[in-house]
Amino acid sequence: MTQETSFIYLASQSPRRRQLLEQLGVPLQPLLPNAEGDEPEDAEAIEAVLPGEAPAAYVERVTGLKLDAAVARHARRGLTPAPILCSDTTVALGRTIYGKPQDATDAARMLAELAGQTHRVLTAVALQVGARRLTAVSVSRVRFAPMSAAQIEDYVATGEPLGKAGAYAIQGRAAAYVEHIAGSYSGIMGLPMYETARLLRAAGVLRV
């Protein structure tokens, strides 16, 4: 038996994740760090890759840590009880993990390595419902066309790769270089709709 609730907390600053949840008709409230009076949270430490860590293990672990931080944040602020959703996305070529580029040079390096290759996009979703934690992982494959140095430079100059796992946004200009995808388009964007809807149904948030 699930306990129905009228909204969820979204522990993500991503406008894409918010948009995708709104597409499902899920009322949400942001639950973001660094509000007045909050203790500082070390996002870089949470996203650090452990030695020899596999991409799937990495994205699941990081999502769990982000949700732990969000649950603690919720408790500190004394907020109304409701499910808390967290998600994280990473890009992997083989066992090499491509997180968010540090700068334009790093973004160009990532894109040069991904160009002409098929890589994986792994997105983990975790939902805290009271004492229960529901999780899911979506794995998709994306093939990039070859990209010249000039094309990479022009794309990086748009600023779009910064702040994106793998240094690209499939819903943006990078789509011009995507030859093929297999899996979840919304998962590649940052929140797999099928897996997320399944968790929300289990939490009593979504009926459709």
Q: How confident is the model at residue 111 (pLDDT cuts 50, 70, 90)?
A: very high
State the pLDDT at residue 43: 72
Residue 121 has a pLDDT of 98
CATH label of the domain that carries residue 90: 3.90.950.10
CA distance 176 to 145: 9
Q: Report long-range pairs for 173-178 (Cβ below 8 Å, ≥24 apart).
A: 177/115, 177/144, 177/145, 177/147, 177/151, 178/142, 178/143, 178/144, 178/145
Domain, as residue range, for 120: 8-202
Give yes or no for residue 195 having a pLDDT over 60.
yes
Least confident of 29-38, 56-65, 108-117, 122-131: 29-38
The catalytic residues are: 88
Number of domains in the chain: 1
Report residue 21: phi and psi, to 5°: -65, -40
pLDDT band at 40 (very low <50, low <70, confident <90, very high): low
State mean pLDDT over 131-152. Answer: 98
Distances (CA, A) of 9 to 98, 107, 161, 177: 28, 31, 27, 35
**pTM, 2 dp:** 0.91
Mean pLDDT for all residues in the chain? 93
Q: pLDDT digit string (tens) for 54-96?
A: 999 999 999 999 999 999 999 999 999 999 999 999 999 999 9
On whether residue 2 sits in a domain, the answer given is no
Q: What is the CA radius of gyration of the chain?
A: 17
Asked if residue 208 belongs to a domain, the reply is no
Kindly indicate the confidence band of residue 1, based on its pLDDT and cuts at 50, 70 and 90.
very low
Closest among 89, 53, 88 to 70, alpha carbons compared = 88
- Distance of alpha carbon 165 from alpha carbon 89, whole angstroms: 7
Please check whether residue 3 lies inside any domain of the structure: no
90: in domain: yes
* Percentage, residues of the chain above pLDDT 90: 86
Length of the chain: 208
